[in-house]
Structure 1
Amino acid sequence: MTSFHNLVSFQSNSVANAHIIRSDAEALEIATRLAEQFQHNAIQRDSDRQLPFDEIESYSQSGLWAITVPKEYGGAEVSSYTVARIIALMSGADGSIGQIPQNHFYALEVLRNTGTVQQKQKLYAEVLKGARFGNALAEFKTKNSTQKYSAISATSDGFEVNGEKFYCTGSLFAHRIPTLVKNAEGREFLAFIPRESEGLELIDDWSGFGQRTTGSGTVKFNHVQVKAEDVIAFDDAFSTPTLVGPFAQIMHAAIETGIARAAFEETLLRVRQARPWIDSGVDTATEDPLTKFELGRIVADVRASEVLLKQAARSIDAAKPYPTVENIAKASLDVAKVRAHSTDTALKASSKLIELAGSRGSQRSDGLDRFWRNARVHTLHDASRWKYYFIANYVLNGVLPPRRGTL
């Protein structure tokens, strides 16, 4: 394992003033341009596991990491559909880069729901200047994902955090590490801990075979001091109807939908270069009837995921002004539909890419396997079978889905 500071001693910890985006259209225009740039060296970054520090700096300096900041605090407050489209674009260009800001936006949504006005003013201002938030939410050594050992305790002038986290996506690129902790009474909090805090250790030990450059390693906390103003309630985001869960999940669905779309577009290129099967009786792979059959199935699935993504985003945005039990449940179920469907679609499209490209599609230099590897690793975040269960349980029995970040 390599410590973060040894790994990237050349990186600057300072936050420069980022561009401020004013509209959905501007956000999409900038994202399209950046996604094209990020695609150029994606194969090499994946193959050599080159962490995308320069790309992430460009990404946040573009203003795209601040697009969910509410208008009253100086942000564009773009629609959920715009956020989803941008994440899909980035995920199609590079499945790791598409994943990295997901928890940043998640932390901002928790802040929107449970932070004080003073906390919002402070943290939103940092993000508008270009600050990036990572995450330290999950733990590796518990019986299940809901258990947390990392603890927060009061001190004479704030709080102290102790513990260890894993799957800390984006932490290596972050200026703050929003960290999920419990106090002695079992209350959960999100502590926005500055990266340079004494006693905080970032370890680059992520070894997943997909999404290899997300910086999803270990973060350790040894008597880390935290200011009271940097700690917000976390469990309140789920004790009442909020969009924290649906918003978190639609970003995951966008990652998979983006990978699926990119894999399909790559399949079209590869089929045009492939040879037809010997029994097809045609001269080109583009005329092979069974190849066209498989392509038709893929494009239908990809388009279905995209439509479901748009529908889910509209449900989120409809519930945002006045969240209720009913409209939050609708948003959660609509997001569950696209999340389950995009899981299947991303895996299918990325697998069919290699199949229809033929044996030449297995060449390491082309990196076609990265689509499937990224999709397979990302789809392990949540079990799609349980999403289908919650959807069916509501349709059959009227049982509302649970309120949490994993539906």
Structure 2
Amino acid sequence: AAIEDDPPNGDYGWVCTFCSFAIQANTWGIGAPWGIFLDRYVSQGTFAQVSKFEYAMIGGLAMALALMVAPLANRCKRAFGTRGTIVLGSGMASAGVFCVVGCSISVLGPWFSTHRSLAIGIATSRLGFGGLAYSLLAGKLIATYGIPWTWRIMSVTMLFCNLICGLLVKDSPINKSAATANSKPSSFSIRIFTRTPVIIILIWGFVAELGYVALFFSLPSYATSLGLNLSQGSTVQALMSLGTGIGRPCVGWVSDKHGRINTALFLTLFCGLISLTLWIHARAYAPLLVFAIFSGVSSGTFWNTANPIVTEVVGMQESAATYSAVCMVMALPATFGEAIALQFVDEGRADDKGRFLPSQVYVGCTYLVGAAALLMLRGWRVWEMEKK
């Protein structure tokens, strides 16, 4: 217990933090331009028989496969170490994403105590900055070299960056001391799903991920339904990514100061409320840009705070196995979230501005349910602390 309570709280941990940021900016960021590729595939009729639903499933399955291998990645980490697993995952596509991402996140916790959420917030801001970088890169490369060579160039870029950062990442002295004391981290077990706080976290993550995927993929289409051009729709998407990139480190810092569960509860509730109010009434370009920034900060709260919250409620020794189990379950909403969101768009409605109303209400309700789950988790945590 003394070892777990005394992390270095920085030192080489900051190097690991920025390596983790770079790794995740590449692995998740490379998927951000999927909308650009999708537009080219559809406009050029590359796959004439493929429906929008099938395209949505392709994007969902790419994300889901990365999450489904979480327990395998955790086992690889125990067998080959953090560096070995990241190097192994760098040579693979979707199946290797969690080997790279999962290890680069889980390695941060033992390095920090009071700055743990800030470090993870910096690392998980990858979608914003990585998404912006790869989206700009993809647009230029497609116009110059075509789609096949664009995929190749982006893949090689991701490979070399991940290999370099993977070799720089290392476990904290706490993990090495634990190994010396024969205190091995727990492995994946079905019993993880029987614990009350884990069940509550799963409910929160499941509904929040459904809302996040629906919001992320619906916002550009909603912009064009208002009569905005494609460039303005791309700007809306870019500002949401920018809000994510800037907001996540700030959210991490706030959660270290005011409590991780409290911060997650506030932001999840906030995202639900602005989806039901600001988004529904955002019928012009300027208010939609404001919503994009605020939603970028708050919509991905689960991925920003889940790992520190899991560590807080189950302890450092069981955190890696529990977090990998949580990520495995998140594969379900990641797979079907975009496809479900498409079903809520009322294509038969004459008023283009009202076609997305069912989808907007759906997104808002998912976040409100997630906030209710977090309120239950907060109550459980207070009860646990009072018992001690």
Q: Does TM, normalized by the shorter one, top 0.5? A: no
Q: Which structure shows the bigger proportion of residues in strand conformation?
A: 1
Q: Which of structures 1 and 2 has the larger relative contact order (alpha carbons within 8 angstroms, sep 6+)? A: 2
Q: Which has the larger Rg?
A: 1
Please indicate the TM-score interval, normalised by the length of the shorter structure: under 0.3
